[in-house]
Chain A
Amino acid sequence: MLKTLLAQVKEFTLVSLLTPVFMVLEVAFEMIIPRLMASIIDKGVSAGDMQHIYRVGAVMLLTAIGGLLCGIAGGVFGSKASAGFARNLRDAMFTNIQTFSFANIDRFSTAGLVTRLTTDVTNLQNAYMMALRMFVRSPATFIVAIIMSVSISPRLAMIYLVAIAFLVCVMVFLITHVTVYFRQVFEKYDALNESVQENVSAIRVVKAYVREDYENKIFSRASYNIYRMFLKAEGLTVFIAPVMQFTIYGCILALSWFGAHMIVAGELTTGNLMSMLAYCLNILTSLMFMAMIFVMVTMSIPSGKRVTDVINERSTLTNPENPVVEVKDGSIEFIDVDFSYREDSKEPVLQDINLSIRSGETIGIIGATGSSKSSLVSLISRLYDVSQGSVKVGGLDVREYDLDTLRKEVAVVLQKNVLFSGTILDNLRWGDPDATFDECRRACRLACADEFIEKMPEGYNTQISQGGTNVSGGQKQRLCIARALLRKPKILILDDSTSAVDTATDARIRKAFAEEIPDTTKLIIAQRISSVQNADRILVLNEGRVQAFGSHEELMESSDIYREIYEAQTGGNGDFDEAALNDGGLRWQK
């Protein structure tokens, strides 16, 4: 993990290395001051040498300024290094995510990826800054102060040894116990917040069943448990401050007692005793800081792991070595295809698929939810790779094509589709960055999107908000179709892309396809029988297998499932055509 993360320091290696150097220098300057102080007292005040006081005073001032400069340099370099480190981490992740296949994306959830790119990176940035500056500074303070003390009086420095040993033992004990406790508490705490979340989103259920008091009782109990656990965990941390005080006070008293003896015996000067007292504070507080940094850096380990996972993830799809960059035509062939999303799953999602589709055909695909309609079409543009068998486009296995070429020629309108913030035109040009305005308009006309776009005050320059929340479901679907049309693909796949469009418009879109892009192979997945009924052939999928494949008339004869669906949706069954009303109720106004 550490290796992967540190590899991202890159051009910030120099500043990363300089930061601790300057921190050590700053510490060194700071640690000289008590020594100089001792000199002022012993050689200046006690000896009555005014000149000495001025001279050493000037040196002390210079030391302080030297410390200041080093401190500033350390701060500036540290900020640069950590901000740069964070930038490189984000860049490494984002760049790698762009190479992800659908299978990779499925493995990390969207929310998971967002957290890794934002919160986790911020955590690591803080930890890195802390590590660069404090990780070196505290031990340096600790070591320099000890060296200084030993050089003054090895015997008195023994006191520190005892104190350090004591403090380390107590700290190790406390930290190990406290972190365990706190991990437990925070788990419970998250659970409590989750239950609040549950209550907020289910408030209608709570109120409908008059369960307010019941929920209050449950929450009260959970909240009390957390309270108890927090008391227990924090009950341990309470010892930290007094133990620290105890150690410092103990040192001061021991130094005073033994120091007094040594001064009287002429083995130590008063000034040196005073600098020993100053070092005492330095040594013990730096120890304390080290413990704190340790805890904080450990807490960023989970973030580090999550970030490393993304950086090290390898795409499950790779471009072939000598890719074919031209797709001959829009014919599709499935030969003995099996497919499952995960290698270890027992039941394949698709089984024994054998299909042959001619270029320019219109194919309807129908079947219950979970019959793997989307999985089937996702193999054509190689969003996923087959587990067994082969999928051919234009007579060649899809794995032989250059990925960009293949996906340009096979345009998919995804079921869960998104628009991006920007104008309508910007969104359309995702399909073809060089598309002229007229080309965009034509695509919109084919997708029946022109009618509502032209009614908008800003027309094609209307801003789409993030996630496309300012257009209706049906409008969004039509824009997504237009966007795909601009690719001028040889194969067009609509994955349940007109579900929110009213039936009449849906029919008009299909008519436009038949008339205007007759050479494009069209695959239409739909829930509505009316959307597929007029296709050249209809594929009926059932539990991952081809149940039937043929024209409407043939299927009415041969396929029970097809007939059942047909009957369920026509002749007074099925759903209302609410889309007709939802999409602005245009039809009512006629």
Chain B
Amino acid sequence: MAEMNVKPMGGRRGRGMPLPKVNNPGRLFVRIMKELLSNYGVHLAVVIVCIVVSVFANVQGTLFTQKLIDTYIQPMIGQTNPDFSGLAAAITRVACFYGVGIAAAFTQNRLMINVNQGTLKHMRLRLFEKMESLPIKYFDTHSHGDIMSVYTNDIDTLRQMISQSIPQIFNSVITIVTVLISMIRLSMPLTMSTLVMVGVMMFVTGQLAKRSSKQFIRQQKALGSLNGYIEEMMTGQKVVKVFCHEQISLDEFRQKNEELYQSAYNANKFASILMPVNAQIGNVSYVICAVLGGILALNGFGGFTLGALASFLTFNKSFNMPISQVSQQSNSIIMALAGAERIFALLDEEPEKDDGYVTIVNAVQQPDGTLTETDERTGLWAWKHQHGDGRLEYKKLEGDVRFNHVDFGYTDDKIVLHDIVLYAKPGQKIAFVGSTGAGKTTITNLINRFYDVQDGKIRYDGININKIKKADLRKSLGIVLQETHLFSATVMDNIRYGRLDATDDEVIAAAKLANADGFIRRLPDGYNTFIKGDGANLSQGQRQLLAIARAAVADPPVLILDEATSSIDTHTEKLVQEGMDHLMKGRTTFVIAHRLSTVKNSNCIVVLENGRIVEKGTHEELLELKQRYYQLYTGSSASA
């Protein structure tokens, strides 16, 4: 029966497409089934019962044709006063069968929606939660496009598999078995001839599929090459115009377009004759049965009647359909398994480890100088250190950060930071300077434990940061990244992201501190302006101001700032500078600096090169050295 296939754009892959390679399809399939059974075991049991019932009802209906002709019509032909009450009763009985069949089909479909959507909801949520728990390393080593495609394409093929392929295969298998049994009971010779024709059909399908698969691979290649070309040319369209290169790029495009046309034509040719070929082989099978059955019925071999022939012919038609369905659905199952492999790979990723036990608490200073814990926000924080012997210790959160001979590499075999030694006393400003790839960002990634050191120690207020719970460690650090990321929410909520329980007034105060208040008020809806598409409607500078405000509302004792290199207009640039300066006041700050003014008033300037600290000191000290910092500093005014 024709299933409604309501899908947005695109549509499913055509038949005969090359299939992806899947490792261990069996294990994956079992895992999906386990996933389904653990939550919807009862649902699925009922679904299977429903399928059996509806197939059975359908077969009963077909068998009724035999009775209709043999038992009711034939004997009554020629009777002067035929009695239709028997037929009426029989029809009523079949109607009941049908009724049950329809009810079963409905129940099955209805339940499958719950199973399908429920499983997907569950799957999506688990994917998301797992994703949120993964270490930064995962995001740095996997393309964002690949991660996204798990949520879109892979979930989508899984949806098709659960909602269509699995029930259809069940249905087909049960139909094949039931119909086969019924056919054998009606006539063995006719069954044999039907089976032979099914064999022919499968052979031809296999041959055509083999041929078309080769063509589809060619088509994929041509498509990839053309799409790549289109993407490159569209990106460079303005350059094409500037160099009057239109004709050349058009010629090259036409050549690739022609290749795609040829291969698409060849590939689809084979795929699209598959359907009529199968349909007509089915018709040939039907014809053979009709002739053979006619002969059998005429001679009355083995009690073969006209009614039996009528029923058998219907079966012959309905036998071919599920067989082609199974082969079709098995393809989409392989596609779905390839998707499921990626879904499970993400679900099986190791989440970020956290062995820390030192936490941050709000504290009150007692008259005797000791600290005690409190629930209220006092503006004073303490590290709560639970020692092995059960002893509790509170230590004031001050913002003292020290690196002791730290080594680090993103992979074990390649060390990118060597023997980093530096310290920042509470309230001090440390500036990192150096070329791209010198290791500036890497150092800041270690402080908030986006990555863990390989050797050496980082101490925060004297505590090894590995002992601090990651969440608490990060809460004590404010970060303003070079690239500002905003969320689809109001300006107010975007700033509040820094501290969820901040009141509107606190948010506005933070915005004022960050110099962001002015431009926010000029937005169409002020603080309630909705930001869309990562703040596409805001300028680079405005986005930075929001990021600074976000850090300001979090009010952390230690700050990590990554100054933006990109040029913004002088006015906003001034605002950003001032905002940053306000934010840094009274906090320990690590800043990846690009501006001389930021560096000049730092307590310590760290010059990095190839992962090593090559110079360290104040602006004046380093200038006197007349080495790298001196060259960097004078570089910008060299030709002045």
Contact = CB atoms under 8 A, between A and B. Distances in A.
Main secondary structure of the interface of B (DSSP, over half): helix
Interface string A569-588: 11111111110111001011
Interface string A14-52: 000000000000100010010001001100111010100
Interface string A272-312: 01100110010001001101100110011011000000000
A91 interface: yes
Given A285-B1, A408-B244, A414-B239, A568 B570 contact: yes
Contacts of B283: 30, 33, 63-64, 67
Contacts of B113: 230-231, 234-235, 238
Contact of B6 (A26, A113, A182, A582): A182
Contacts of A235: 110, 113
Given A214-B500, A241-B3, 5 more contacts: A78-B268, A210-B475, A230-B113, A533-B640, A588-B631
Contacts of B8: 182, 186, 299
Contacts of B434: 581
A430 B435 contact: no
A433 B247 CA distance: 13
Nearest to B273: A75
Contact of B636 (A237, A466, A503): A503
A357 interface: no
B268 A83 contact: yes
Contact of B243 (A117, A300, A369, A431): A431
9 contacts: A40-B291, A45-B297, A119-B9, A197-B148, A203-B136, A205-B479, A227-B120, A256-B65, A278-B317
B600 interface: yes
Contacts of B487: 198, 202
Contact of B268 (A61, A129, A253, A571): A129
B131 A200 contact: yes
Contacts of B281: 68
A94 B479 contact: no
- In this complex, the member of B249, B273, B279, B498 whose beta carbon has the largest number of chain A beta carbons within 10 angstroms is B273
A461 interface: no
Nearest to B265: A83
Interface in B52-84: 61, 64-65, 68-69, 72-74, 76-77, 79, 82, 84
Contacts of B349: none
Contact of B568 (A238, A246, A369, A408): A369
B366 interface: no
A351 interface: no
Interface in A102-144: 102, 105, 110, 113-114, 117-119, 122-123, 125-126, 129, 133
B2 A288 contact: yes
Give chain A's interface secondary structure class: helix
A292 B2 contact: yes
Contact of B298 (A53, A179, A289): A53
Interface string A427-438: 000110100000
Give 9 closest A-B pairs by Cβ, nearest first. Answer: A71-B276, A581-B435, A577-B635, A202-B485, A57-B291, A68-B280, A79-B268, A75-B272, A75-B273
A240 to B, nearest CB: 5
Contacts of A487: 243
Contact of B433 (A67, A230, A576): A576
Interface string B428-467: 0000011110100000000010100000000000000000
Nearest to A178: B6
A572 B596 contact: yes
Contacts of A453: none
Contact of B237 (A63, A97, A199, A572): A97
A375 to B, nearest CB: 14
A260 B72 contact: yes
Contacts of B242: 381, 383, 407, 411-412, 414
A187 B632 CA distance: 52
A13 interface: no
B309 interface: yes
Contact of A245 (B1, B147, B475): B1
A40 B290 CA distance: 8
A564 B570 CA distance: 10
Given A53-B291, A84-B265, A418-B239, A260 B309 contact: no
A489 to B, nearest CB: 11
A408 B243 CA distance: 7
B144 interface: yes
Interface in B299-341: 306, 309-310, 313-314, 317
Contacts of B470: 210
Contacts of B409: none
A40 B567 CA distance: 87
A299 B249 CA distance: 32
Contacts of A261: 84
Interface string B603-640: 00000010000000000000000001001110111111
A296 B11 contact: yes
Interface in A215-273: 215-216, 219-220, 223-224, 226-227, 230-231, 234-235, 237-242, 244-246, 249, 252-253, 256-257, 260-261, 263-264, 266, 270, 273
